[in-house]
Amino acid sequence: MPTPATLDALLVEERVFRPAPATVIEANVKPAELAEAYRLAEADPCAYWEQAALELEWHRKWDAVLDDSRAPHYRWFPGARGNIVHNALDRHVHIWTKNKLALIWEGEAGDCRKFTYFELYREVNRFACALRALGVSRGDRVCLYMPPVPETVVAMLATAKIGAVHVFVFAGYSAKFLRERINDAEAKVLVTADGFYRGGRCINLKTVVDEALEGVRGDAAETVVVVRRTGDDIDMREPRDLYYHDLLRQESPEAATEIMEAGEPLFWLPTSGTTGRPKSVVHDHGGYMVGAHHTFRTVFDIKPTDIHFCTADPGWITGHTYGVYGPLLTGATVILYEGHPLYPQADRLPAIIERYGATIFYATPTLVRMLMRYGPQYPKKRDLSTLRLLGSVGEPLSPEAWMWFYKHIGRSNCPVLDTWWQTETGMAMLSPMPISVLKPGSVGKALPGVAADVVDAAGAPVPPGQGGFLVLRKPWPGMFSGLAGDEEGYREAYWEKIPGAYFAGDVARRDEDGYYWIQGRADDVLNIAGHRLGTAEIEAALCAHRFVAEAAVIGVPDKIKGEVAKAFVVADPAWTGAFPDADALAADLRGHLRRELGPIVILRGVELRETLPRTRSGKILRRALRAEELGEPYEYRSDAEE
Ligand code: WTA
């Protein structure tokens, strides 16, 4: 682990932006209320979160707000019963939101489908009945390998409605990755699509699924439900494969909602860590619901008239929390877009904002940098006057990108909310509020109830302005309840690095005003275009190639993607017989990596080496390779590297 002292070479940004008076007057949380929220959350965090829980409907209320007797396993709202889908969907059909738009979906070709809460409710019920008829019941896992289409949202909600657990595998992952996740989850059913459109191409998903299902263990994914999206000719294998639309035709639009204990799992979400294997982060019905609802209502300041455009794929935590659950829990209207953000032109996202009158635009720094590259003339062509809030997540948003976003998308009158959080936190943790004074490049202060700190390797707080490890000292309701089947990994990765605190794995600094500035990961996790990928996972994938003896992967900066991977490989001498030159081997390795992990890994280069630098105990010195690559000085420190 690098020491924070070497990591505080952070830019000092002096600009500040004050909220417009109208924003303050209209905000859901006004300055006096925010001050009171901080006061209460500090004095009595359980009372604060209890208030948040009372904003939702429960089948039975909790016996206690928090049970920390088995820390680091925290149980939020023990004794409470309910189902997140009751709050996200069922309750809306009895109130005024019934006929309000829940979901606006736009396909890449420009096709559009809209669902009111009532329509979404009926579709979800039909699919819930179908899943039940397929033998899926409470606690069973349903794997989703889905593109961004409305049925993806339906599948998530239908699974949760019957008390089953959705395990989403982002459609950019490979067949092998999918197979492993199906096996890990022992998923009963897999929901997928024939394909989808992206970048003007028709991407076939079903062939990936067919490959993944060759060699799954036992009776995993016995049934595959296929949504017809592209109408491509695909191989449907009987009796395993069923068309979604055929299944739904016979089902009732009414389905009972399973009443869950607050701590029962809602979903697993695979994510990368520092080991060679991805881990599945587990979130529950009760605490996660409170976290998603409360932060969406307060941070995103949601109003009945809002149209929220979240660019994240539903297959990531951002899509789960602020693309699906948060918006539906608050009765908002959300936009889901299928395709490539620059297709057919760089004004596609601004065009979507204009077309539906989006009021909130939640994007990623990679997207902002992509738009910046094409220039302000693209957003300028579009009427973006409906926007009132901008959000960013997933990677550091530099002051330069912040300013561009603010000026050219927000027309200098929308606050930019740079939200810091993680798959594990389930909800935004550090973020400005719409009424906050903004500093470009900063993720603002810790939200009320969030006990963040910046510490050194021994856990001692570092002075303001100095870099250190970001930790969280108190539990929060949206927190994950564990890693599926990996108790040791849970304790070791998150709770044992810094005594008495949750270790986020990020390097940050906090300034004199309590504003946080995130520098990036402190561990061997890359952030490629906002997607988390462990160097160890990429190395393990490379090492599975027949001619790779050893491999080391580092992250190198990239103007658009933030970071991309670079591989150093020690090849087995036998490769020379199989490939004409090193470039041919490198090309084969790229293809191999794509097959092993999927197109999600962006590899800048492959360099052949005779040996790799190692510590005295034999660990690969990635830092030395990185320093060499970037032309930075490097000094071996046995304490930090061993
Ligand atoms: C990074 C995404 C800088 C960070 C919700 C974190 C950020 C990892 C920000 C989690 C931000 C997230 N500024 N970096 N606003 N938000 N990160 O699990 O390194 O996909 O640890 O969750 O993304 O990524 P994950």
Question: In this structure, is residue 549 part of a structural domain?
Answer: yes
Question: Closest ligand 1 atom, CA of 521?
Answer: 19
- Ligand 1 pocket test: which of 532, 537, 561, 563 has the largest number of ligand atoms within 8 Å of its C-beta? 532
Q: How far is the CA of 579 from the centre of ligand 1 (A)?
A: 40
Residue-level pLDDT at 215? 87
Question: Is any ligand 1 atom within 6 A of the Cβ of residue 393?
Answer: yes
Which residue's structure tokens are 């059913």?
Answer: 189
Structure tokens at 44: 């009595």
Question: Is any ligand 1 atom within 6 A of the Cβ of residue 395?
Answer: yes
Amino acid at 124: V
Question: Closest ligand 1 atom, CA of 318?
Answer: 5
Amino acid at 420: W
Give the separation between CA 366 and CA 372, rounded to whole angstroms.
10
Residues 274 and 1 sit within 8 Å (Cβ to Cβ): no
Q: The pTM is what?
A: 0.95
Residue-level pLDDT at 4? 43
Residue-level pLDDT at 11? 52
Give the separation between CA 75 and CA 67, rounded to whole angstroms.
5
Torsion of CA 478, 402, 554, 631, to 10 degrees: -150
Give the separation between CA 505 and CA 399, rounded to whole angstroms.
22
Q: How far is the CA of 561 from the centre of ligand 1 (A)?
A: 14
Nearest CA, atom 24, ligand 1:
422
Question: In this structure, is residue 140 part of a structural domain?
Answer: no
Question: In this structure, is residue 602 part of a structural domain?
Answer: yes
Residue-level pLDDT at 432? 98
Q: What is the pLDDT of residues 143-168, one digit of tens each?
A: 999 999 999 999 999 999 999 999 99
Residue-level pLDDT at 634? 85
Which run of H or E residues covers position 532?
Answer: strand 531-534
Give the separation between CA 116 and CA 29, rounded to whole angstroms.
28
pLDDT at 621 over 60: yes
Residue-level pLDDT at 641? 58
pLDDT band (50, 70, 90) for residue 640: low
Give the separation between CA 207 and CA 461, rounded to whole angstroms.
52
Residue-level pLDDT at 8? 43
Distance separating the N- and C-terminal Cα atoms of the chain: 9
Q: How far is the CA of 531 from the centre of ligand 1 (A)?
A: 9
Question: In this structure, is residue 563 part of a structural domain?
Answer: yes
Nearest CA, atom 14, ligand 1:
395
Question: In this structure, is residue 494 part of a structural domain?
Answer: no
Question: Is any ligand 1 atom within 6 A of the Cβ of residue 425?
Answer: no
Which residues have CB under 8 Å from 365's CB, separation 6+?
A: 392, 394, 395, 396, 397, 398, 401, 530, 562
Residue-level pLDDT at 114? 98
Question: In this structure, is residue 582 part of a structural domain?
Answer: yes
Question: Closest ligand 1 atom, CA of 505?
Answer: 21
Give the count of alpha carbons within 13 A of 618, CB side only. Answer: 1
Nearest CA, atom 10, ligand 1:
422
Q: How far is the CA of 363 from the centre of ligand 1 (A)?
A: 12
Is beta strand 389-393 parallel, antiparallel or unpaired with respect to 360-363? parallel
Q: How far is the CA of 444 from the centre of ligand 1 (A)?
A: 14
Residue-level pLDDT at 642? 54
Residue-level pLDDT at 1? 44
Question: Closest ligand 1 atom, CA of 316?
Answer: 20
Question: Is any ligand 1 atom within 6 A of the Cβ of residue 442?
Answer: no
CATH number at residue 578: 3.30.300.30
**Is the C-alpha dihedral spanning 596, 597, 599, 603 positive or negative?**
negative
39-48, 238-247, 257-266, 615-624 — which is least confidently predicted?
615-624
% of the chain beyond a pLDDT of 70? 97
Residues 335 and 356 sit within 8 Å (Cβ to Cβ): yes
% of the chain beyond a pLDDT of 90? 93
Question: Closest ligand 1 atom, CA of 271?
Answer: 18
Question: Is any ligand 1 atom within 6 A of the Cβ of residue 419?
Answer: yes
Question: In this structure, is residue 547 part of a structural domain?
Answer: yes
Question: Is any ligand 1 atom within 6 A of the Cβ of residue 518?
Answer: yes
The domain of 562 spans 525-630
Question: Is any ligand 1 atom within 6 A of the Cβ of residue 422?
Answer: yes
Q: How far is the CA of 46 from the centre of ligand 1 (A)?
A: 26
Q: What is the mean pLDDT of residues 436-449?
A: 98
Residue-level pLDDT at 12? 61
CA angle 542, 528, 521 (to 5 degrees): 100
Question: Is any ligand 1 atom within 6 A of the Cβ of residue 420?
Answer: yes
Structure tokens at 156: 């998530």
Q: What is the mean pLDDT of residues 495-514?
A: 96
Higher pLDDT, 231 or 523: 231
Question: In this structure, is residue 624 part of a structural domain?
Answer: yes
Q: What is the pLDDT of residues 18-39, one digit of tens each?
A: 999 999 999 999 999 999 999 9
Question: Is any ligand 1 atom within 6 A of the Cβ of residue 87?
Answer: no
The b/e string for 543-565 (b: 16+ C-beta within 10 A; e otherwise) is eebebbebbbbbbeebeebbbbb
Give the count of alpha carbons within 13 A of 473, CB side only. Answer: 11
576 backbone dihedrals φ, ψ, rounded to 5° = -60, -25
pLDDT band (50, 70, 90) for residue 7: very low
- Ligand 1 pocket test: which of 11, 282, 321, 395 has the largest number of ligand atoms within 8 Å of its C-beta? 395
Which residue's structure tokens are 């027949």?
Answer: 546
If one counts the domains in the chain, the total is 1
Q: What is the pLDDT of residues 303-359, one digit of tens each?
A: 999 999 999 999 999 999 999 999 999 999 999 999 999 999 999 999 999 999 999
- Ligand 1 pocket test: which of 317, 420, 427, 502 has the largest number of ligand atoms within 8 Å of its C-beta? 420
551 CA to centre of own chain? 28
Residue-level pLDDT at 301? 97
Residue-level pLDDT at 618? 85
Higher pLDDT, 370 or 633: 370
- Mean of all residue pLDDT scores within the chain: 95
Question: Is any ligand 1 atom within 6 A of the Cβ of residue 322?
Answer: no
